[in-house]
Amino acid sequence: MKNIYLLAPDSVGILALALQHLRQRNDVSIDFTDLVLPNEEKFKYKNSLQRLYNVYLKNCRAQNLKNIYYNNCIQKKIKVQKLQYDTIVIIRPDLLNDESLQILRQKTRHFVAYYWDSANFFPRKKDIATLFDKVYSFDSADCANYGYTPLTNFYIKEATNEPIKIDAYGLLSYDKRKTQLEKIAAALELQKMNYIIKTYSQKPVESKYLTRLDTVLDYNEMLAEIAQCKVLIEVQKEGQQGLTFRPFEALGMEKKLITNNPRIKEYDFYCEENIFVVNPDNPTIPASFFSTPYKKINSAIKHKYHVDCWFNKLISTT
């Protein structure tokens, strides 16, 4: 049995669900550290003097009390784990300082990073890549530019027999994609499709098309909502080339997908019956996309993107 240590931020519960499945396997033992500190552990200034001192550190010493505190907390969690692991995998290793990464490096002979965000969004990823035996990335451009090994995101849940209650469903952060989302929603209304597009924002959302969430929706809850829709909506962030989780959730749960990412046509599970690549500036979605049934994907192709296969690649030493 392989001993694996996984460290990653799990703010929405994707990895909690993945671990629930992976820990049922009899070939691995997995320890996990969430890189998102619970609220009661997060840094709080003791007084205004400490706040001023941190301004000095940031401006004159390139240091930050919050980062120092955060890494001290993570190091305490690391030190209570096993002394040695067959493989250590870190998602978002850029959150950790060099000292924390070196502590982890000494605990294994196979040190692996997985980048499920584009490196340009978090430039420190490029600086620390040489610390790892292998760096995997979901972004094809990053793999081509920086020599990372390609590895897509994954799905966990399979199709269910939930009754369909809504034609189209989307869940995204509230950001620059708002305009594109609204245009897609308007196109759905022209087709008289019922839809719901939820967006997380701590500020008011001025849009008749979008439903605001003031707290992050748990991943299990989101999957339960996806199970009741016919079509899943995805709008890719600008500057990101890899596929997000949405296409794989659609693949696993056998839902159709509307996306603005034309690169999805390069993947072996793409078929035009299931995936409609929309022009984000002038989206026109044919009614036939909703009226025709989902086309089953070859099971061998589909399984390649299951969380088991994703995990097997991460921990493989070949």
Q: What is the pLDDT along the chain (318 residues), one digit of tens a residue?
A: 999 999 999 989 999 999 999 999 999 999 999 999 999 999 999 999 999 999 988 899 888 999 999 999 999 999 999 999 999 999 999 999 999 999 999 999 999 999 988 888 899 999 999 999 999 999 988 999 999 999 999 999 999 888 999 999 999 887 778 888 889 999 999 888 999 999 888 888 888 888 888 888 999 999 999 999 999 999 988 777 789 999 999 999 999 999 999 999 999 999 999 999 998 778 888 989 999 999 999 999 999 999 999 999 999 987
> DSSP states of the chain as a string?
-EEEEEEE--SSSHHHHHHHHHTT-SSEEEEEEESS--GGGS---SSHHHHHHHHHIIIIIS--HHHHHHHHHHHHHHHTS-S-BSEEEEESGGGS-HHHHHHHHTTBS-EEEEE-S-GGGSTHHHHHGGGSSEEEES-HHHHHHH-PEE----B------PPP-EEEEEEEESSTTHHHHHHHHHHHHHTT--EEEEEE-SS----SSEEEESSPPPHHHHHHHHTTEEEEEE-PPTT--S--SHHHHHHHHT-EEEES-GGGGGSTT--TTTEEE--TTS----THHHHSPPPPPPHHHHHTTBHHHHHHHHH---
Cα-based torsion angle of the residue sequence 28, 31, 35, 40 in order, rounded to the nearest 10 degrees: 150
Q: What pTM does this model have?
A: 0.92
